[in-house]
Amino acid sequence: MSYQPSSERYATMKYNRCGKSGLRLPALSLGLWHNFGGVDTYENARAMIRKSFDLGITHFDLANNYGPPAGSAEETFGKVLKDDLSAHRDELIISSKAGYYMWEGPYGDWGSKKYLVSSLDQSLKRMDLDYVDIFYHHRPDPETPLEETMAALDLIVRQGKALYVGISNYQADQAAEAIRILRELGTPLLIHQPSYSMFNRWIENGLQDVLEEGGVGSIAFTPLAQGMLTNRYLGGIPSDSRAAKPATFLREGDVTEQKVAKVQQLNVIAQERGQSVAQLALAWVLRGGRVTTALIGASRVSQIEENVAALNNLDFTAEELDRIEAILRD
């Protein structure tokens, strides 16, 4: 039986304006960094993508190196798009990135025009797309002039291979310069994708101000600290968790007694609000409207359902925020 998306998919999802653009993004977006690669079960990946769309998640975030193996997450998404979502392409925001190592030789990494254009061509082929909605430079390149990297993003838009462009992992001063260059080229920067969570607050030290002044939106990745800001690690490290997998940034040593103690205290506040720790953490990232959308990951459908339910309670009292601040500060 062919897939028919829920007729209620836009009824409850919250959509936020992305900077000063005409684009609105769902408050939660689905990232395909883990669990959508060639080593993963296709039907599970397919079910998660379909459930996300059923719940109003229209933005699907990929990169050339997502898998493993690298490139396979884009292949998986392309197959789901063909099997289930091709009739709904114009309802979707599909993004990809380039900036990390992809192939041998001097042209398969970092931020040259050669690499970015070639990588996007490969991504489009893997997903069987004519264009992506957003194309990001994935990380700053210390050797390639920023003017060249931004000119590549401008070229990609003018070629019709992307509608909008973004950057990821740029510090505040780097982001400010990227905003200036792209504005002069006539292709305004749409969005910045930094890491951000209760345990990782570096963007509050200037970057958010730069983005607001430049009219640029933001999409926070790892808002749950790769699972630390859930109940997953309160009783140890589960064998199927990210900390137990070799190909992730979260290591067993990252699950410290101090962090677990903080999560236990945060869980008290979450329960008072009728939320899980994950829901509390997502609501906190979205507080105040300074983050356009939070990028969630998932290994099963139930996690997506739980995360979307966070949108039922996004408001905080001043007392709750003070209590959370005290826990994080301690």
Task: Give the CA distances from residue 144 to residues 7, 110, 121, 150, 322, in Å, rounded to whole numbers and listed in that order.
Answer: 47, 8, 20, 10, 43
Q: Is 46 inside a domain boundary?
A: yes
Its pTM stands at 0.94
Count of domains forming the chain: 1
Domain that holds residue 155: 15-233+289-313
Which helix (H) or strand (E) segment holds residue 114: the answer is helix 113-127
Residue of 224, 207, 157 lying closest to 186 (CA atoms): 157
Predicted pLDDT of residue 242: 53
Amino acid at 276: S
- Local mean pLDDT, 10-residue blocks, the chain (330 residues): 94 97 99 98 98 98 98 98 98 98 98 98 98 99 98 98 99 98 98 98 98 98 97 69 54 80 97 98 98 98 98 98 96
Predicted pLDDT of residue 307: 98
Q: Is 213 inside a domain boundary?
A: yes
Residue of 51, 104, 112, 39 lying closest to 76 (CA atoms): 39
Q: Is 274 inside a domain boundary?
A: no
Structure tokens at 256: 């410290």
Task: For residue 203, give the 3-state DSSP assignment.
Answer: helix
Task: Characterize the bridge pairing of strands 24-26 and 217-220.
Answer: unpaired
Predicted pLDDT of residue 248: 53
Q: Is 96 inside a domain boundary?
A: yes
Predicted pLDDT of residue 245: 52
Residue of 191, 127, 124, 203 lying closest to 164 (CA atoms): 191
Q: Is 158 inside a domain boundary?
A: yes
Q: Is 127 inside a domain boundary?
A: yes
Which residues lie below 8 Å from residue 186, measured CB to CB, with a gap of 6+?
Answer: 154
Q: What is the CATH number of the domain that holds 70?
A: 3.20.20.100
- Residue 286 CA to residue 86 CA, distance in Å, equals 30
Q: Is 299 inside a domain boundary?
A: yes
Predicted pLDDT of residue 232: 86
Answer yes or no: are the C-beta atoms of 120 and 98 closer than 8 Å.
yes
Residue of 113, 116, 149 lying closest to 132 (CA atoms): 116
Q: Is 322 inside a domain boundary?
A: no
